[in-house]
Structure 1
Amino acid sequence: MMKFYAAAFTAVIALCATAPAQAQTNLKWGHAYETSEPFHTESVWAAEEIEKRTNGRYKITVFPASQLGKENDLNQGLTLGSVDMIVSGSSFAARSYPPIGVTYYPYIFRNPDHLIAYTKSDVFKELAAGYEKASGHHIAAVTYYGTRHTTSNKPITSCDDMRGLKIRVPDVPAYLAMPRACGANTAPIAFAEVYLALQNGTVDAQENPLTTIEAKKFYEVQKNIVLTGHITDHVNTTIAGRRWAKLSDEDKKIFTEVTQEAAARATKIVQEREGALVQTFKDRGINVQEVDKAAFEQVVRAKVPLEEFGYKQADYDRIRAVQ
């Protein structure tokens, strides 16, 4: 009998030794950006850091370059359950809660520092809360994506030079404001297909930050970079509502702190890269053209007022007032 108990006790000890201390939850984190971009590298850092700070309770795999679908698919995936976390712009969040899209109205931000100050303001908190109530999903962090400029087959020195130009913009209302105010024709081609569209002449131009123009190699198929600076862009790290609701308060704190640290790291990288890229493009023989941004802004405000997109003047004014 004693031998039986001893054997049973040994078996229990062995089972406890081989069983994990606690169950591990596997999460999918998707985005549309290349592996060389900080939106990916810092997401990978964050995934590893969350696993470490939660003692392995969460294992997060990051899927770059639209592996889990294009940006619209990723946003839908938060609700459908095909993805747990994403990096995506407020332009897509605005499909669930239109007021948050006011941040894409051209020239609303003076510079990247103004954008970052906005992300710490009461107006941001209110807009993010409105999005969460409408969609169920939680914006955990915001990263500066870059200041959007225009690339083109032909030189552009003024708004009038864009008249009749066929330009690719994301399929989001506020992105249309500047091109349409200047008389361009817009084409909502998927991000992953832009290079080919430029190469085969489906479109004559596109607009993106300098870092994206570099990463996606648009400069190979466009010889002019026009520093229109029309949108100071950002992306959100968003967590699916069903996943956020299951996190303990302690884990919510960890996810928030880590994703915000990652956002700050990525923002710093983007700003540093932007600072060097103008000269890099010039060295490659690309025509980099300065323009009168105040003149562009004046045309946009006159021809495509923000109310046309359903945005609130009060939100615009509060964001402009952020210091």
Structure 2
Amino acid sequence: MITRRSMTAGLALAALGAGAKVPAQAQAPLTIRISTAAPPSDFLAKALEQLKSEVAAASLGINVAVHTASTLFKQGTEVPALQRGNLEMSTMTTFEVAQQIPEVGFLNRAYLFKDYAQLRRVFDGPEGEAYRKIVADKMGIEIVATHYLGTRQVSLRTRRAVKGPADLAGVKLRMPAGPEWLLLGRTLGVSPLPLGMPEVYLALKTGTVDGQENPLSIFNAAKLYEVSEQVVMTSHMVQPVFFAVAKPVWARMSKAQQDGFQAAARKAAKAGDEGRLADEAGIIDALQGRGLSVDKIDLGPFREAADKAYAGADITKAWDMAWLKRVAGA
């Protein structure tokens, strides 16, 4: 006998068989693992934790897991992992983008951005939109937010007088791996040595490297002041970092999920920016209080050295120079 209950069940099954979509709430939550080299106490890691909280509060049907200090993937391996489908999200740099899209490598140039305000004008405007599109089209990665990683400065394990790049000749300076990072190091006059961020503290302590370069907030968060005596305010890069999602993962989200996730990412990135800017404003006094020398110098010799180094470098031949001029003039 056909009962009302069996008829209802049959109609429901028929609807599903006809291709009716299960409501998002009934689907298994999408899990997004984020891999970053940032130490847990850095503002980038804090911004990612805020993203996790914002997404949870918005009930988007997305679970976020944050893996800091390269504990999930080693620094430099995250982008290939995104593209192979082994990772959902990472914090990607302009250097990693340039390895696959050489024409936008100009964003790795020393002394490109004057300050944070210019960085935001670029990445919040049409140039940033064009950059996100080319990354999505050519790399299969969606940039959902841009975060201020900080202004990079040189630190040394032992003090020395520094007035220009010539004074850093022979200094083994830790740099992230990659040809454009190493070129950046050479503009500073140093001997660049590629090394992952989690290895830097021990390398400074043992003398494997003579120094490193990072934003002061990261220098502070990683406690590198314990194995350094001096900071030289070279201010050679005002650096962005991107909240980057694998395109197939992004495509699995509904439009509502995409909008909610991006809003959460941008809110978290902005909070991270504000925290880092406030930290940078007071960190010099804090480092001097720990006994470090913090030297503000004339940047003219460093800017001139950078101009010469980039003018003669083969790697810059692929750069979109018209795009560089638009960004530099923003």
Paired residue for 1:269?
A: 275
Deviation at 1:305, TM superposition (A): 2.3
Deviation at 1:32, TM superposition (A): 1.1
Paired residue for 2:122?
A: 118
Alignment of 1:1-323 (within 5 A): 21-53=26-58, 55-152=59-156, 153-155=158-160, 156-305=162-311, 308-309=314-315, 310-322=318-330
In 2, the alpha carbon distance for the partners of 1:123 and 1:91 equals 17
SS of 1:148's equivalent in the other structure is strand
Deviation at 1:56, TM superposition (A): 4.8
In 2, the alpha carbon distance for the partners of 1:101 and 1:71 equals 19
Cα 1:177–1:136, aligned 2, differ >3 Å: closer, same or farther? same
Please, what TM-score do these two structures have when normalized by structure 1?
0.89
Deviation at 1:48, TM superposition (A): 2.4
Cα 1:182–1:263, aligned 2, differ >3 Å: closer, same or farther? closer
SS of 1:71's equivalent in the other structure is coil
Asked if the contact 1:100/1:131 (under 8 Å) is kept, the reply is no
Structure 2 unmatched ranges of 5 or more = 10-24
Instruction: After superposition, give the CA deviation of every residue in 1:87-112 in whole Å (9 maximum; x if it has no partner).
Output: 13121122222233322200000111
Instruction: After superposition, give the CA deviation of every residue in 1:260-313 in whole Å (9 maximum; x if it has no partner).
Output: 111111000010000100111111110111111122111110133286323222
In 1, the alpha carbon distance for the partners of 2:92 and 2:116 equals 18
Asked if the contact 2:176/2:196 (under 8 Å) is kept, the reply is yes
In 2, the alpha carbon distance for the partners of 1:273 and 1:251 equals 33
Paired residue for 1:14?
A: none
Structure 1 unmatched ranges of 5 or more = 10-19
Asked if the contact 1:29/1:85 (under 8 Å) is kept, the reply is yes
Asked if the contact 1:31/1:65 (under 8 Å) is kept, the reply is yes
Please, what TM-score do these two structures have when normalized by structure 2?
0.87
Cα 1:109–1:306, aligned 2, differ >3 Å: closer, same or farther? farther
In 1, the alpha carbon distance for the partners of 2:326 and 2:219 equals 31
In 2, the alpha carbon distance for the partners of 1:56 and 1:144 equals 26
In 2, the alpha carbon distance for the partners of 1:90 and 1:182 equals 19
Instruction: After superposition, give the CA deviation of every residue in 1:233-261 in whole Å (9 maximum; x if it has no partner).
Output: 11100000110111222221112111111
In 2, the alpha carbon distance for the partners of 1:244 and 1:182 equals 39
In 1, the alpha carbon distance for the partners of 2:185 and 2:159 equals 15
Paired residue for 2:18?
A: none
Q: Larger deviation: 301-310 or 201-210?
A: 301-310
Q: Larger deviation: 180-189 or 161-170?
A: 180-189
Q: Larger deviation: 272-281 or 298-307?
A: 298-307
RMSD: 2.3
Cα 1:300–1:154, aligned 2, differ >3 Å: closer, same or farther? same
Q: How many aligned positions are there? A: 309
Cα 1:96–1:321, aligned 2, differ >3 Å: closer, same or farther? same
Asked if the contact 1:29/1:62 (under 8 Å) is kept, the reply is yes
Asked if the contact 2:34/2:67 (under 8 Å) is kept, the reply is yes
Asked if the contact 1:307/1:313 (under 8 Å) is kept, the reply is no
Deviation at 1:194, TM superposition (A): 0.9
SS of 2:100's equivalent in the other structure is coil
Q: Give structure 1 regions of 4+ aligned residues with deviation exceeding 4 angstroms.
A: none
